[in-house]
Amino acid sequence: MTVDVATTVPEADRLDALHAVLESGSVIKATRMLNALHPAEIAHVLQSMLPRQRELVWGMVDDPAQGEVLLYLNDDLRDELLRDMAPSRILEVAEALETDDLADLIQDLPATVTREVLNSLDEQRRERLETALAFPEDTAGGLMNTDMITVRPEVTLDVVMRYLRRLKDGLPDLTDNLIVVNRQGRYLGVLYLTDLLTNDPDDSVAEIMTLAVQPMLATLDAREVANRFEQLDFVSAPVVDEDGHVLGRITVDDVMDLIREEADHQFMGQAGLSETEDMFAPVLLSARRRAVWLGVNLLTAFLAAWVIGRFESTIQQLVALAVLMPVVASMGGIAGTQTLTLAIRGIALGHLSAKNLHWLLGKEMAVSLINSLVWALVVAAIAWLWFGSVGVASIIAVAITINLLVASLAGALLPLFLDRVGIDPALAGGVILTTVTDVVGFLAFLGLATLLLV
């Protein structure tokens, strides 16, 4: 037997195959191919499709799978598909989901449907749903699942194994350990399935369980949860309340999604885009969202223009200034962005805090000073060769040095400052920084020229 190579080829090629079948018009074959995929893969297919194809393909997805596919879609596309579904259909889809998945979906449903969904649940499911909804999304509690298997420390491994065999639904997904609790439901430790399998069945859970896994408080910041999973290589980790009662567990698949979202947020945020931005979103929706960012940028651009405007007569006397001023501003922007990027990542990874900020600040300013000495000389030499003016050459060198120093100062201080006042540095940091470097660059260069040259 050889492995079916068709199934190990890159996804792009499998997508191509599906596209080809779709275009050939063979709906039955395409439907079969589509529904053989994992819900996450179907979501991926939908997201790589053009809007008009999406509707067709969404109609092909088997009813029971639709709920799960919705969970894997980005917010934009999910909202769009939900808008087009009949409330009764949404209700069916919602009821078929597991409680934890339902908790994720329910926040996106229209209010009337939410009420209907809640009414249709039995008491146990409603309670679980409420536990899952009780914590903010960006905490350990918001990330957790409530489905888990707990065991008592005094029983033997053999008893545990017989208990597991009697479970009618099997073990929850991504179960690598059972949570050991006392009579009051308080956390004691975890029993890894690997230890359950490799130890003497007559040993007790208490003898074999691992005490070293620290449970996470439900209020713990989600970013800290992700850092712990990364550092400690967890597959799942228990979540407790302040009294140590086990509330649920967090699984690595959700943490991986979180890391990806955080990363997307950082990356997309720099361009003023939302991390849920759908590449194939409708033109008008995209245009409206982007317009806001362009408007913000326009304000800062006019601030810079206003600064230049203060020096109109200087520029008229010495047009070389107009030619060279973008060089001063852009050198500051680049240097500042480097420091800003380093600081934003340092905060995200927990490496940077108010405690070691002064050190980063000192280092970044030293780096800027060295680089400004090097590049200011180069720029001055070019300016002198170009315009033959020692005055312009000296002034651009000084202006670049000033701007690079201010840039690294602003780049290091901005993220922590914004973080403290509750503004997202990944979103606002870049705009504010380049405003600073534009204004300081133009002011230093044109101001010095006005004072000394004209």
Site for a copy of itself in 353-392 (CB under 8 A): 353, 355-356, 359-360, 363, 366-367, 370-371, 374-375, 378-379, 382, 386
Please report whether residue 19 would count as binding a copy of itself according to CB under 8 A. yes
Restricting to residues 45-64, which ones interact with a copy of itself according to CB under 8 A? 47-50
- Say if strands 150-151 and 177-181 run parallel, antiparallel, or are unpaired: parallel
* 315 lies in the site for a copy of itself, by CB under 8 A: yes
Is residue 274 a contact point for a copy of itself (CB under 8 A)?
no
Which residues in the 195-234 window bind a copy of itself by CB under 8 A?
Answer: 195-200, 214-217, 220-221, 224, 227-233
Q: CA quadruple 57, 62, 68, 70: dihedral positive or negative? A: positive
Under DSSP, the state recorded for 6 is G
Q: Does 312 bind a copy of itself (CB under 8 A)?
A: yes
Interface with a copy of itself, residue 104, by CB under 8 A: no
Residues 6+ apart with CB under 8 A from 94: 67, 102, 105, 106, 109, 113, 117
If binding is defined by CB under 8 A, does position 268 make contact with a copy of itself? Answer: yes
Identify residues 154-173 at the interface with a copy of itself (CB under 8 A): 161, 164-165, 167, 170-171, 173
Site string for a copy of itself, 317-356 (x = CB under 8 A): --xx-xxxxxx-xxx--xx-xx-xxx--xx--xxxxx-xx
Give one DSSP letter per residue of 313-352, joined into a string: HHHHH-THHHHHHHHHHHHHHHHHHHHHHHHHHHHHTT--
CB of 272 or CB of 391, closer to a copy of itself: 272
DSSP string covering 370-430, please? Answer: HHHHHHHHHHHHHHHHHH--HHHHHHHHHHHHHHHHHHHHHHHHHHHHHHHTT--HHHHHH
Which stretch, 86-94, 105-113, 121-129, 295-303, contacts a copy of itself (CB under 8 A)? 295-303
Tell me whether residue 48 or residue 114 sits nearer to a copy of itself (CB atom).
48
Residue 82 or 360: which CB sits closer to a copy of itself?
360
Q: Figure out which of the listed residues 153, 185, 244, 391 binds a copy of itself, where binding follows CB under 8 A.
A: 244
Shortest gap between Cβ of 33 and a copy of itself (angstroms)?
15
Determine if 445 is a binding residue for a copy of itself (CB under 8 A). Answer: no
Within 128-210, strands assigned E span: 150-151, 177-181, 187-192
Q: Is the Cβ–Cβ distance between 300 and 431 less than 8 Å?
A: yes
**Of 92, 138, 277, 424, which lies in the binding site for a copy of itself, with binding defined by CB under 8 A?**
277
Q: Alpha-carbon torsion 440, 443, 447, 448, what sign?
A: positive
Q: How far is the CB of 227 from a copy of itself (least distance, A)?
A: 7
Task: Give the CA-trace dihedral at 424, 339, 257, 221, to 10 degrees.
Answer: -60
Two structure tokens written together for 224: 């800290």
Interface residue with a copy of itself, options 153, 185, 272, 391 (CB under 8 A): 272
Gyration radius of the chain over CA positions: 29
* 403 belongs to the binding site for a copy of itself (CB under 8 A): no
